[in-house]
């Protein structure tokens, strides 16, 4: 992903039509409070998913490996979320907006983002990111801020790792 991130970033930075402020400005938009309500709802659903399907994993990462958990909370947004959002939001929408109408572009983006997570070899990662991709696109299209959507994505991702569902997004099978 680092190579793809570097390539996409380079292409964006060398494209004179790309507004570079999108990469670092944090923008709240009208109705941003809805993001909090949305997170509470989906956060509760993720919690209930773990509680129902694998109660033994509930907060297990925090309890069993607190130092590693803290490291993931700090590094995951930087080394995983920001590159994903640059590739799948800033680069994708800037590069491909002229190829198809926005509704089609959104569907293609959601599917690409979700299918990228098939490297983890489980349906949970694909379904979670199908939903997450739809949420993050809404935020990106309203804010036009890579940093804003990165913060939202990081909050969801960190919650997933904290509550015990991170096993679906990081396992030895994904590196074979």
Q: Would residue 23 count as lying in a domain?
A: no
Q: Would residue 10 count as lying in a domain?
A: no
Higher pLDDT, 171 or 65: 65
Percent of the chain having pLDDT more than 90?
86
- Band (pLDDT 50/70/90 cuts) for residue 171 is low
Q: How many structural domains is the chain composed of? A: 1
Q: Would residue 104 count as lying in a domain?
A: yes
Q: Would residue 176 count as lying in a domain?
A: no
Q: Would residue 18 count as lying in a domain?
A: no
Domain carrying residue 156: 33-169
The pTM for the full model equals: 0.92
Q: Would residue 99 count as lying in a domain?
A: yes
Alpha-carbon gap, residue 165 to 159, rounded angstroms: 9
Distances (CA, A) of 71 to 80, 111, 120, 148: 13, 30, 21, 22
What integer best gives the mean pLDDT of the chain?
Answer: 93
Closest CA to 135 of 154, 120, 115: 154
Q: Would residue 112 count as lying in a domain?
A: yes
pLDDT of 174 reads: 39
pLDDT of 176 reads: 38
Of the given ranges (20-29, 60-69, 106-115), which has the lowest mean pLDDT? 20-29
Higher pLDDT, 29 or 105: 105
Q: Residue range 33-45: average pLDDT?
A: 95
Q: Would residue 2 count as lying in a domain?
A: no
């Amino acid at each position: 992903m680092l190579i793809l991130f570097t390539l996409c970033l380079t292409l964006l930075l060398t494209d004179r039509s790309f507004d570079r402020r999108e990469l670092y400005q944090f923008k709240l938009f009208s109705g941003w409070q809805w993001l909090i309500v949305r997170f509470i709802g989906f956060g509760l659903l993720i919690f209930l998913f773990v509680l129902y399907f694998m109660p033994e994993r509930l907060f297990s990462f925090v309890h069993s490996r607190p130092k590693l958990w803290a490291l993931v909370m700090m590094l995951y947004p930087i080394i995983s979320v920001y590159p994903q959002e640059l590739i799948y939001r800033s680069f994708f929408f800037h590069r491909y907006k002229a190829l198809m109408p926005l509704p089609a572009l959104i569907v293609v983006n959601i599917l690409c983002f979700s299918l990228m997570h098939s490297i983890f070899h489980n349906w949970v990662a694909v379904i979670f990111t199908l939903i997450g991709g739809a949420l993050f696109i809404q935020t990106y299209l309203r804010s036009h801020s890579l940093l804003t959507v990165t913060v939202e994505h990081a909050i969801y991702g960190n919650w997933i790792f904290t509550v015990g569902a991170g096993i679906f997004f990081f396992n030895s099978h994904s590196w074979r």
